[in-house]
Amino acid sequence: MSHASAAGTGYTPAQVLSVRLSVRLFVTASLSSTTPSRPGHHPHLLQLTYIRVVTLFGIAAAVLFAVYMLHLQLNVWLIAGTLGIIALVNLFTYARLHSHWPVTETELFSQLTADAVLYGALIYQTGGATNPFIFLLLIPLLIAAATLSWRFTFLTALLVVLLYSSLMHYYLPVLPLDSGHRHSLVALFDLHITGMWFNFLFTVLLISWFIVRLQQTMRQQERRLAQERERRLQDQQLLALATLAAGTAHELGTPLSTMSVVLHDMALDHPDGELAEDIALLQQQVTACSERLQAMTQSAQQAGRYERIAVTEMLEALLDQWQLMRPEARYSVQLPETQPAPPVRSSIQLLQALTNLLNNAADACPQDIEISLSWDAEQIWLRIHDRGPGLPLATAADLGKPFVTTKGKGLGIGLFLTATTLAQQDGEVRLYNHPEGGTLTEVRLPIPVTEESPR
């Protein structure tokens, strides 16, 4: 019986195994095809480059004010050299951020250490601990406390304390220590207090700006993590669904083979009459199911392959095939007059996804389905408007999730598979309640930027 079953349907155990393995390989490949991102402390180091720019302009303005307005004795060339070193470090850091290497915690700590040492050198040249802007040493410590682990934070704090302690005894004075100097002790104290006020204002603005940007970066990371968790959950559901489909295809092979053999024997026993017509109809249905399983085998084997063709050509072939499947459907197509049509990466998965959307429209209302196609320089839009009852508000937010359907007899997996397939091509599908009634399904696909040979 098993030999006769295989011969009756043409669906061998090897083909069943091919379905299972090919589907698993395709789904596994789709799970790993994600856009690479820069992990680690890349956003934090980028924020540090911005802070350096603000600090450079602030220190330069303060030095010019001290030399030309307060007539302080500063080694301008030495200070300019230190500022130049900070600018070069910042320039190299900004260039390094454009590489694909992740920014590690150790690298960020080394950058903050360099900032603390360079700020200490500037303060050494401008009065040491008597300089009201000595609180610049707190900037690396604040960034370390907000972004690094406690070990690196402790090391940064230790470095800052050592620098501050050293600057209390070793520095270049900005005023000569002679009693005949025109600045009195009260004037110097007032000048120090004013500098402390400017330093406090600058520190408040800088810390506020950095904390706000840091919070924005953290919120963006949280959103990306939530999207990644949602994507992995969908991938797990897709893998489970593919495994279930492969197992179902394997289990359907034996009953279809048995039905084919029994119907063949019945056709020999009843060559004429109404029963013969019913038997012939059943044989056609069994053959159609067997061919569908064989088509599943071929589709799984060709998963991941695509053909670069014009979008109008793909849509025309898709509608011709769909009309054979749904002869009761009546539709109209509106194409733009812009020529030539842009290319699209056509694949078996994409055609099946679009077929699912067309079937949903026909299930809602097979009459007066409006199909429109449009594009610009970067995107392609396919819109399908049916005249059905529209989307129920209770389930509209959950559409696209597995096993969520608006049809009483639906399984709730068609739209989920469609959304997953389009996401693999950086596309998406959206559903709306049309103002004139019914549902508007909008598909967006990107236009391939570079010439790619069909795989």
Residue 87, pLDDT above cutoff 90? yes
| Position 306 confidence tier, pLDDT thresholds 50, 70, 90 | confident
Please tell me the predicted confidence (pLDDT) of residue 455: 43
Residue 395, pLDDT above cutoff 70? no
Task: Kindly compute the dihedral angle of the four CA atoms of residues 347, 349, 352, 356, in this order, to the nearest 10 degrees.
Answer: -130
Please tell me the predicted confidence (pLDDT) of residue 415: 76
318 contacts 357 by C-beta, under 8 angstroms: no
Please tell me the predicted confidence (pLDDT) of residue 16: 40
Q: Structural domain boundaries of the chain?
A: 307-446
pLDDT top residue among 33 and 265: 265
Highest mean predicted confidence (pLDDT) among 217-226, 285-294, 394-403, 439-448 = 439-448
pLDDT top residue among 247 and 260: 260
Please tell me the predicted confidence (pLDDT) of residue 371: 92
HEC readout, the chain = CHHHHHHHHCCCHHHHHHHHHHHHHHHHHHHHCCCCCCCECHHHHHHHHHHHHHHHHHHHHHHHHHHHCCCCCCCHHHHHHHHHHHHHHHHHHHHHCCCCCCECHHHHHHHHHHHHHHHHHHHHHCCHHHCHHHHHHHHHHHHHHHHCCHHHHHHHHHHHHHHHHHHCCCCCCCCCCCCCCCCCHHHHHHHHHHHHHHHHHHHHHHHHHHHHHHHHHHHHHHHHHHHHHHHHHHHHHHHHHHHHHHHHHHHHHHHHHHHHHHHHHHHHHCCCCHHHHHHHHHHHHHHHHHHHHHHHHHHHHCCCCCEEEEHHHHHHHHHHHHHHHCCCCCEEEECCCCCCCCEEEECHHHHHHHHHHHHHHHHHCCCCEEEEEEECCCEEEEEEECCCCCCCHHHHCCCCCCCCCCCCCCCCCHHHHHHHHHHHCCCEEEEEECCCCCEEEEEEEECCCCCCCCC
Residue 359, pLDDT above cutoff 80? yes
| Position 51 confidence tier, pLDDT thresholds 50, 70, 90 | confident
| Position 86 confidence tier, pLDDT thresholds 50, 70, 90 | very high
Residue 167, pLDDT above cutoff 50? yes
pLDDT top residue among 346 and 15: 346
Condensed to tens digits (0 to 9), the pLDDT of residues 268-289 reads 888 777 788 888 888 888 887 8
| Position 199 confidence tier, pLDDT thresholds 50, 70, 90 | low
| Position 36 confidence tier, pLDDT thresholds 50, 70, 90 | very low
- Cα separation of 227 and 399, whole Å? 17
Please tell me the predicted confidence (pLDDT) of residue 227: 76
Separation in Å, CA 378 to CA 62, 309, 445, 450: 49, 16, 9, 12
Residue 356, pLDDT above cutoff 90? no
pLDDT top residue among 103 and 411: 103
* Residue type, position 190, single letter: D
Task: Report the chain's mean pLDDT, rounded to a whole number.
Answer: 76
- Cα separation of 152 and 136, whole Å? 19
pLDDT top residue among 236 and 441: 441
Please tell me the predicted confidence (pLDDT) of residue 206: 65
Condensed to tens digits (0 to 9), the pLDDT of residues 2-11 reads 333 333 444 4
Separation in Å, CA 285 to CA 246, 252, 277, 351: 21, 14, 13, 23
pLDDT top residue among 340 and 34: 340
Residue 396, pLDDT above cutoff 60? no
pLDDT top residue among 399 and 180: 399
pLDDT mean over 313-317: 90
Fold of the 307-446 domain: Heat Shock Protein 90 (3.30.565)
The candidate with the shortest Cα–Cα distance to 121, out of 104, 134, 102, 105, is 134
pLDDT top residue among 331 and 191: 331
Please tell me the predicted confidence (pLDDT) of residue 179: 45
